[in-house]
Amino acid sequence: MKTYFYSHIIETESLIVEIEKMGLSDEQKTHLIGLIESNLHHVILDAILSELSTEDKKKFLEHVAREKHEEIWGLLRNKVDNIEEKIKKAADDLKRELHEDIKEVKEKD
């Protein structure tokens, strides 16, 4: 699994465990886990960009494209209060929805 600049503060294990329990093929599991990751990636980018000025958005995007994790965090911590908490909240809100979706399909058994 690829490491993103936010990987150390966002856990996806709880969702992956639930996917693992469903008895899906490897292809199916990989696909669903990928959708989880990609959805999280989008909400995290949105949460961050929404906190930045136009100029800082540009710097942030450049750092992300070049995978300069230290520079990303340097920028974010300097420009946004409690950025880790904001990222976590955005991710947690989405993860809660995804858990609900899993629960819903399991209840159909």
Partner 1 sequence: MPQKNYTPHYEHLKNKWTEKHRGLQRRLWEKHKDSLEWFAKQTHHLAAGSLAGLLFLASPSGMTTRPTPSVQVLDESIDKSAFLISDLQNNLPKDVRPLLSEEEDRIGGILTERYGFHVTAEFEGKKLNRSYGLIGAEQHLMRYPGDTMATHFATAEEVGKYTSSGMAPGRGAWGYFANSQAEMTEQDSMREKYYIAVQTFLTPGYNENVREYSQFFKYRKMLVVNPQNGHAVIAVIGDAGPAEWTGKHLGGSPEVMKHLERVDGSQRGPVLYYFVDDPGDTIPLGPVNVK
Q: Given the rule CB under 8 A, which residues bind partner 1?
A: 1-2, 4, 22-25, 27-28, 30-43, 45-46, 49-50, 54, 57-58, 61-62, 64-65, 97-98, 101-102, 105-106, 108
Q: Which is nearer to partner 1, 92 or 101 (CB)?
A: 101
Q: Which is nearer to partner 1, 81 or 107 (CB)?
A: 107
Q: Tell me the angle at which helices 83-107 and 13-20 cross, rounded to the nearest 10 degrees.
A: 20
Extract long-range pairs of 97-106: CB within 8 Å, 24+ residues apart: 98/15, 98/36, 98/39, 99/14, 99/15, 99/18, 102/15, 102/18, 102/19, 102/22, 106/22
Write down the least CB distance from residue 42 to partner 1, Å.
4
> Three-class SS string for 20-56?
HCCCCCHHHHHHHHHHHHHHHHHHHHHHHHCCCCHHH
Q: Which is nearer to partner 1, 24 or 77 (CB)?
A: 24
Q: Which is nearer to partner 1, 64 or 71 (CB)?
A: 64
